Amino acid sequence: MQHKNSKWPDIISRKMEKYREMMFEAEKYIWAHPQTGFKEWIAHEYLKQKYSVLGFIPIEAGNIPGFYFDIDTGREGPATAVIAELDSIILAAHPASDPETGAVHACGHNCQSAALLGVAAVLNDPEILQELCGKIRIMAVPAEELIELGDRSAMKEAGILKSISGKTEFMRRGFFDGVDLAMMIHTDTGSKHNLRIAPGTNGIIAKKVTYYGSKNKSGAYPANGVNALSAMNVATTAINALREIFPEECLIRNASVLTEGGTTPQYLPGKVVIESNVRACEYKVLKDINEKINRAYTAGALAVGAEVEIDDLEMYLPEKDCDCPDFQKVAYEVGCDLFGEENVTFDRSRVIRNRGGSDMGNVGAVMPVIQPFTMGITGVGHAVDCQVTYPEYAVFDPAVVQASIACVLLENNGQRAKKIVEDYKPLFPSIAEYLAEMDQICALKRPLTYDGNNAVLSAK
């Protein structure tokens, strides 16, 4: 008989059965009503109603979807956040996508939101709460997927947002104030009970670059104009020349798309817009590479005499779960108790292999975080064949795992949570200092100044 690390997984599993159908119904409903970041009002209203039936009063973000509430044990202790994401991706080719918007939950966030209902319901049980201390903050957060940059930029300009990622925006609104550590579970491909604990994910900087030239006739008077598209072409060549200096171990990536490139070949393109992202698995490397790429974008403008605006819209910091080994160990113990050691994959290395990114890394900049994976999807995440085929693994399992982890963290006067927090060395000592650094990095830059004769006055 396998030795049990804790009593909680068995207790939570039994109590979670009461909420199984509620969670499965929620997963199907949210799957059928996908909406992208900061537009997830259908899921917001649906979940708010479900939580109200359970006796909770969510504190809403107001002008954007999302909310949180606390389950308070009534005893002093650490505050643990359990997070689910609300948004979908856009993948019009997916058979389940919204025919008008192309939105589809081929990302598994519908499973997270459904599982969180069960987590909240079970952890509010008086028999459980009487053995715990501190608080559990339940958080339904919008806009993890880093898409629709134009729409989100417009929301920033309108004063609705200060950040274009949901978790960072929640940090700015004070929703993470008082939280000591945070967790969530992502859904992965597989058809069995399984928990996968990984070192972390890549970091990302999302960018919008705009070149301004002059819209002279390309056939008749090109000598009097500046071709903004040529500036982009020079920049692309410069960026490609940088690739040989990218450290191989840092998972550096750069990809871009042209979203505006002129309207007719009869005129020189007077305005060109590029959406781009830069990725790396180390924070300092990510900043350094981004500065070099910005230099290349500036060089493209300088070469042809164009104006350039570089808007670093958002940074997703590398998520370093491996910096929280005791937190990972709690998840491992819970997984072993629930599924057996043979069904728990624990990569104990510090080598990040996940090329994707998450704004959970932004939360990890100031507190311990983990984001393990459970199974339940067939096909490939973010692809046209992605389906939630096994809700038992995609919804029920993560609900039990997260509720069990919360109990292990907060029992015995919160000893394990306190040790995790005490041992953690965050990149930034406070949310305020983290946000101040992001304000410097994520800003609109105009690196070139010309005089009236198109001569360079300054280049930054």
Q: 57 near 121, Cβ under 8 Å?
A: no
Same domain for 252 and 161: no
Pairing of strands 369-370, 354-357: unpaired
Same domain, 210 and 179: no
Measured CA to CA, the distance from residue 443 to residue 459 in angstroms comes to: 17
Is residue 133, in this structure, part of any structural domain at all?
yes
Count of domains forming the chain: 2
2 within some domain: no
Question: Is 1 within a domain?
Answer: no
- Residue 250, in any domain of the structure: yes
pLDDT score at 328: 98
Report the CATH number at residue 268.
Answer: 3.30.70.360
Question: What is the 8-class DSSP label of residue 172?
Answer: H
Under the banding of pLDDT at 50, 70 and 90, the label for residue 1 is very low
Q: What percent of the chain has pLDDT over 70?
A: 96
Domain assignment present for 3: no
Same structural domain, 93 and 236:
no
pLDDT tens-place string over residues 409-442: 999 999 999 999 999 999 999 999 999 999 999 9
Q: Identify the burial level of 70 via C-beta atoms within 10 angstroms of its C-beta, where 0-12 means exposed, 13-18 middle and 19 or more buried.
A: middle
Same domain, 223 and 304: yes
The more confident residue out of 265 and 298 is: 298
Same domain, 87 and 111: yes
322 and 185 part of one domain: yes
Kindly report the CATH number assigned to the domain that includes residue 15. 3.40.630.10
Helix %, strand %, coil % of the chain (to 5): 40, 25, 35
CB atoms within 10 A of CB 440: 8
DSSP 401-455: HHHHHHHHHHBGGGHHHHHHHHH---SSSSHHHHHHHHHHHSSEE--EEE-TTS-
Domain residues for the domain of 268 are 204-316+444-459
| C-alpha span between 91 and 72 (Å, rounded) | 40
Confidence category of residue 459, pLDDT binned at 50, 70, 90: confident
In a shared domain, residues 214 and 280: yes
Tell me: do 329 and 286 sit in the same domain: no
Q: pLDDT digits over 237-274, tens only?
A: 999 999 988 888 888 999 999 999 987 787 788 899 99
- Tell me, yes or no, whether 237 and 330 share the same domain: no
The distance from CA 37 to its chain's CA centroid, rounded to whole angstroms, is: 11
- 10 Å Cβ neighbour count for 175? 20
Tens digits of residue pLDDT in 301-356:
999 999 999 999 999 999 999 999 999 999 999 999 999 999 999 998 878 887 78
Scanning the structure block, which residue is given the tokens 């998520």? Answer: 319
- Whether residue 213 sits in one domain with residue 192: no
Question: DSSP code of 366?
Answer: T
- Provide the phi-psi class of 189: left if phi over 0, else alpha when psi is between -120 and 50, else beta: beta
* Same domain for 121 and 13: yes
Same domain, yes or no: 127 and 108: yes
Alpha-carbon span 426 to 406, nearest angstrom: 21
